[in-house]
Structure 1
Amino acid sequence: MTQTHDKAVRPREGADAGVPVDEPAQPYRIRRSSDAIRFAASVTGLAVVMLLVSVAQGTTHGLHSDIQEGTAHAPRMLLSLATLVSSFGVLAAPIAFGIVRLFHKDGTRVAIALLAAMIAFGITVGLDDLSVRAAPGGVLDSLIWGGTETAPIHTDIAPVIAFVSAVGMAGRIRWQAATWTMIGLAALTGLTAAYASVAALAATYFLGRAIGHGTLYAVGTPNPRPPGTAVVAALERLGLRPVRAVRLDGTPDSGEETRRYGVVLAAGPADGDTAPDRDAGEWDLEVRVLDRDQQTAGLLYRVWRLLRLRSTTTGRALRSLRRSLEQESLMAYAVAAAGVRTPRLVGTSEVGTEAALLAYEHVPGRRLADVPDEEITGALLTDVWRQFRAMQAGRLAHRRLQDGAVAVGADGRAYITDLRAGETAVGDLALRLDLAQLLTTLALRVGAERAVRTAAEVLGGEALAAAVPLLQPVALSRATRTALRRDRELLTGIREQIVRLKPETEVAPLRLERFRPRTIFSIVALSIAAYIVIPQVASLDLAAMASAATWHWAAAALGGAALTYLAAAFMLMGFVPERLPLGRTVLVQLAASFVKLVAPAAVGGVAVNTRYLQRSGVRPGLAVASVGASQLVGLVTHVLLLIMFGFLTGSTTKATQDLAPSRTIVIVVLSLGLLAGLALTVPRVRRVVASRLKSMFSGVVPRLVDVLQTPKKLFTGMGGTLLLTVGFVLCLDASIRAFGGSLPLTTVVVVFLTANAVGSAAPTPGGLGAVEGALTLALTISGLTAETATSAVLLYRLLTLWLPVLPGWAAFTYLQRREAL
């Protein structure tokens, strides 16, 4: 795509040799993010192959047998010819390509590729020798077919793949086809001769690719970016007459996705022109250069956003060089056609095979980011909003409306720039996201009140109200979210200003995320929990365990579990001055047991109880404070009981009643305290903990004062708190006795309190995995056999976690129908 300047001009002859370009020296080698991404992808692929062959050896061996049987019917002459051709061609094709590159003065790239091939050869030979001696019959051996008589990884193919990956055949279709055809033929002959399996070839491919791209990234690839002189030459091919150019964006490794050049054009007639006298910075053109290797900059972040957010809220994660050039060009023309004030696009052109340029008319002025706060007047803000209104009317989404994307010209007017991420013909959601972004950007500079007031004057209150559900950090750019850390109440302030204009505005946040990061964390935690719990269950003979259990103790354990729901109801009722019916409150606690399976243990019960209080007529703030008060008292009681019974466990004989603390308990408590202290030294962890405690316990003290004025309520709340612990301890103790075990009651109390604390902190639903592991370990350390401890823990968790699920679901459904939840 090539556009030309409006003026009738012709290029100067010999200009590419005489036009001075002021720019820092280009680095000889660069590290491309695309190489790092390909290396990581190859390592991931290798890990997946190893995992598959370790869990599906029968399938891989069967696949290899099928391939052998299929090739057995092929003509022997054809197979012999393929073997002969691949034996020479697998080396001849890469060597020939390397010689061609040497003639093109690309010896550095060939040397790096040879280094990668040598590394691959050494690693594959080492792996082959190691697998024969150290792991016969293991994972490496399962990569092959034929036992330890053959090598699991092709030492003749892996170095070739590493060489091809590092030498750079991109864009050379014929060479790529010839080289990969030879590699494919070599792999086929390996299969037919029972030299290696499909899994071995897959492992060889990923290993070679990983070594090739890893070497490229570690050593650095020769810089393919065209210099400024090539950029000037491309401008001359557009019919322009540059006489001077200077690099504007700092050093070549500044990390920016594009390079920028300021260019002065010749004035006067074409023949005999000279460079005009201008002050520094007075350019005719500002040229943006898109380098091919920079198209993957920030790719991992963009992919993460694409996966995490709904598709309508994000742009493309990856664009080719051609696609980026066409997209920005289209956006520039569309913005100008919509009547938005923006630098005019003069022309576009490719710069060799590795870059492209966009030449804009230079607008003297400054970016909004460089304008002091006191110079940002109401007239300027109004002008910014007018340009934004024109973009919205043209259904154009900018997607990067930060203060660097707004320029303030020397005439004091606003210009919209940096259109590389923009899109045309977008939907309403993308337009509202742009509005939320610009509101936040301007509020960071001039405050929420001025940003909203000037926007309302131009857009109207109705348009601003549409942005309120999108005023959430996840909807904003990364730079804006970073800036918001210095003013965490800014988004709340913007919402409040808009609500004052339109009191009926819907303020509930719009769901933009497909999933939240903590969902991934919970899935990982659940996988670890399954890894801990499943082997414990699989190692037990459940039938023998059930027949050996003492059922009257199991019934006692069931009674203790049932007692906990009554205790939890008393605990909640005691910290709510309003009257609550006992029966319905017990049902709410039973419903909370169902919610535990879809939320962490410390979250589900709080949410259900808060919702129940609100439905019972308690105002939202007081409902949160009541539940927070019960949680706070429960936490303090838990810690005090743990300390008290930790000391009691030290009285191991009748003769020593000196309450000396158990050494194990002291070590555990001190270790937990040390870990908690170290975690709180991290600012981010400290902020998360502080915000969580603030949201949970805000308004708690006034609520506790209300409860203290009613002794009956205080007795009910404290009694429910203690009774809750008693119920769980009775259930655990009876579960131990049901399988013939016995421990001192003080030890059982300490074990329960410790495991309960671990389960409350775990992010898994119901503390799954964490509670089982903590209980089993603690009971085993306390003197129970591993089989008895595991059996007791499984019975305890069956009664307290799994058995209440169906009754809890029934209670949850019933309460919802009665509008109690």
Structure 2
Amino acid sequence: MSLLPLDKLPGPLPATTPGPDPAPTHSPTHSPSYSRHSLRALSLLPLLLVAVWAAFDWRTVSDGAVQLASADPLWLLSAFFFMCMGWVAAACVRQGAVPERLPPGLLLASQVAAGTANHVLPASIGAHAVTLRFLQRQGISLTRGTASLALYSLVKPLAKTVVLLVFLLAFPGVLGLAELVPDERTLHLIAGSAGLALAVAALLLKFVHPLRRPILNFVRTALTDARILHTRPSRVLALWGGAAATPLLQASVIASVGFALGLPLSWAQVTFALLVASTAAGAVPAPGGIGPIDAALIFTMVLFGAPMSLATATIIGYRVLTIWVPLLPGMLVLSWLVQRKVL
């Protein structure tokens, strides 16, 4: 019996007969054009937030613009300079909180963007989120980046306390502290709140076992990085010097705006008013401290002898200069960093 050749067999062979190639399937989530459009939409989102916020807070913008239009332009220029130096101080503190050397230009740009994001979300969440993303893009792990944020958050109030104590020693009679000292009930409330927070943290570590290991690893990483940083004089200077300079620069912005409007207070009084107000109202999670710190600042400046109307005008002008003037440039920088995949 002879076998027929393969090409003479009746009917096709399904296993060997070639068919048309299946059409390539691309998931939209992995399409290059989809990713490009998503990145573009994400970079335009900050500009949309600016427009929405301006619509809701337009009265503050218009009132502040009217106040600043009649102010001394040289003092306003000085206030703008001190505001820009605040970004430099923030970049110094961020660099001092990590052992690795960060690119200075991108670091400064990230702090401009972080300052803008800080005015959108409460309790510095926006600034920390931008900075953490920037650190991760620079090759720093999530744990170590979070540890640097914790060190940053710890050093800033400690440095502010040191500055406050220096002012108390340097200007004991000029500031008039009797009316600003909290009463015994307030001190007991502060001490009780701090003790309760420590007790809750201790109970969580003891009884919630899934949290114990990540928290202990985080603390170990944070302590190791802090020890390494404090063996480098350049990091110590950047960390503590930048943290101490931050409230002084912020107070200089307020004082310059006040001098431009004719505020009858000295720079030392305005600085001390800011230190007291930010300490008293810093626990309230408002975006960028807007609201609680404003009220505390006006109250403190009135205690120092400023007219209520002039103190209010100073704070409104200060907010317009530090929030609304850099808001659009800051959002543009944020969008540029997103497009460049720095964030």
Q: For residues 49-92 of structure 1, what are the alpha-carbon distances to aligned partners after superposition, in whole Å with 9 as ceiling and x for unaligned?
A: xxxxxxxxxxxxxxxxxxxxxxxxxxxxxxxxxxxxxxxxxxxx
CA drift of 1:771 comes to 1.9
Q: Secondary structure at the match of 1:804?
A: helix
Distance of aligned partners of 1:547 and 1:602 in 2 relative to their CA distance in 1, 3 Å threshold: closer
* 1:751–1:672 Cα change, 3 Å: farther
Of 257, 278, 287, 1:765 maps to 287
Whether the 8 Å CA contact 2:97–2:148 is kept in 1: the answer is yes
Correspondent of 1:664 among 151, 154, 179: 179
Counterpart-to-counterpart distance in 2, 1:691 and 1:782: 44
Structure 1's 546 and 767: CA in aligned 2 closer, same or farther, altered over 3 A?
A: closer
Matched, 1:687 2:200: yes
Match of 1:678 among 192, 198, 215: 192
**C-alpha spacing 1:626/1:681, structure 2 compared with 1 (3 Å):** closer
Q: CA deviation at 1:818?
A: 1.8
Q: Superposition RMSD on alpha carbons, in Å? A: 3.2
Give CA deviations for 1:694-732 in whole Å, capped at 9, x if unaligned.
79x833322121112211221222222222222212101
Q: Which residue does 2:87 correspond to in 1?
A: 565
Pick closer, same or farther for the CA change 1:691–1:716 going to 2, 3 Å. farther
Asked whether the 8 Å contact 1:565–1:586 carries over to 2, the reply is yes
> Structure 2 residue aligned with 1:810, among 308, 332, 335?
332
In structure 2, C-alpha distance between the alignment counterparts of 1:593 and 1:640, rounded to whole Å: 24
3-state SS of paired residue (1:579):
coil
1:594 maps to 2:116: yes
Residue among 685, 703, 706 paired with 2:228: 706
User: Is 1:561–1:728's contact at 8 Å kept on the other side of the alignment?
Assistant: yes
Q: Which digits, 9 at most, give the CA deviation of each residue in 1:122-181, with x for residues without a partner?
A: xxxxxxxxxxxxxxxxxxxxxxxxxxxxxxxxxxxxxxxxxxxxxxxxxxxxxxxxxxxx
| Identity between Structure 1 and Structure 2 (%) | 25
Structure 2 segments unaligned to the other structure (5+ residues): 1-55, 206-214
> Which residue of the partner structure matches residue 549 of structure 1?
71
In structure 1, the residue matched to 2:255 is 733
Q: Distance between the aligned counterparts of 1:795 and 1:547, measured in 2?
A: 10
The equivalent position to 1:751 in structure 2, one of 250, 273, 276, is 273
> Contact conserved, 1:759 with 1:768, CA < 8 A, in 2?
no
Structure 1 pair 703–593 and aligned structure 2 pair: CA distance change class (3 A): same
**2:79–2:252 Cα contact (<8 Å) kept:** yes
Residue in 1 that maps onto 2:105 = 583
- 8 Å CA contact 1:563–1:727 kept in 2: the answer is yes
CA shift for structure 1 position 571: 1.0
Report the AA paired with residue 677 of structure 1.
Answer: A
SS at 2:101's partner residue?
coil
Q: 2:237 aligns with which of 684, 695, 715?
A: 715
Change (3 A) 1:652 1:594: closer
Q: 1:546 to 1:710 in 2, by over 3 A?
A: closer
Given residue 679 of structure 1, which amino acid in structure 2 is its aligned partner? S
Q: 2:150 aligns with which of 628, 634, 638?
A: 628
Selected match of 2:302 from 768, 774, 780: 780
- Counting only pairs closer than 5 Å after superposition, residues 128-277 of structure 1 correspond to structure 2 as none
Q: Please report how far the alpha carbon of residue 690 of structure 1 lies from its aligned counterpart in structure 2 after TM superposition.
A: 9.0
Compare the two structures and name the one with the higher helix fraction.
2
Deviations along 1:405-436, whole A, 9 cap, x unmatched? xxxxxxxxxxxxxxxxxxxxxxxxxxxxxxxx
Cα displacement (A) at 1:646? 3.4
Equivalent in the alignment of 1:457: none
Q: Is the 8 A contact 1:625 1:700 kept in 2?
A: yes
Deviation at 1:552, TM superposition (A): 0.9
The residue type equivalent to 1:687 in the other structure is V
Quick check: 2:252–2:267 contact (8 Å CA) kept in 1?
no
C-alpha displacement of 1:588: 0.8
Contact 1:646 1:665 survives alignment (8 Å): no
| More RCO (CA 8 Å, sep 6+) | 2
Whether the aligned pair in 1 keeps the contact of 2:116 and 2:331 (CA below 8 Å) is: yes
Amino acid in structure 2 at the alignment position of 1:663: A
Alpha carbons of 1:721 and 1:700: their partners in 2 closer, same or farther (altered >3 Å)?
A: same
Pair member with larger Rg: 1
- Report how far residue 759 of structure 1 moved: 5.1
TM-score of the two chains, using structure 1 as the length reference = 0.31
**Which whole-Å deviations, capped at 9, do the CAs of 1:200-241 have from their partners, x for residues lacking one?**
xxxxxxxxxxxxxxxxxxxxxxxxxxxxxxxxxxxxxxxxxx
CA distance 1:690–1:624, change in 2 (3 Å)? farther
Question: Are 1:766 and 1:801, in contact at CA under 8 Å, matched by a contact in 2?
Answer: no
Equivalent residue in structure 2 for 1:795, among 295, 317, 321 = 317
Shift of 1:691: 7.3
Change over 3 Å in CA distance of 1:768–1:746 after alignment to 2? same
Quote the Cα distance in structure 2 between the aligned partners of 1:691 and 1:755.
Answer: 32
Query: Are the structure 2 counterparts of residues 672 and 605 from structure 1 closer, same or farther at C-alpha, using a change threshold of 3 Å?
Result: farther
Q: Using a 3 Å threshold, how does the CA distance of structure 1 residues 719 and 681 change in structure 2: closer, same or farther? A: closer
Which structure 2 residues correspond to residues 385-404 of structure 1 after superposition, within 5 A? none
**Matching of residues 354-503 of structure 1 within 5 Å:** none
Contact 2:65 2:317 in 1 (8 A): no
- Cα offset for 1:758? 4.6
Name the SS of the counterpart of 2:299 in structure 1: helix
Q: Deviations over 1:433-468 (max 9, x none)?
A: xxxxxxxxxxxxxxxxxxxxxxxxxxxxxxxxxxxx
Cα offset, 1:674, TM superposition: 2.8
Aligned counterparts of 2:202 and 2:284: Cα–Cα separation in 1: 14
What displacement does 1:682 show? 5.2
What's the CA shift for 1:604? 2.1
Contact 2:93–2:243, Cα closer than 8 Å, also in 1: yes
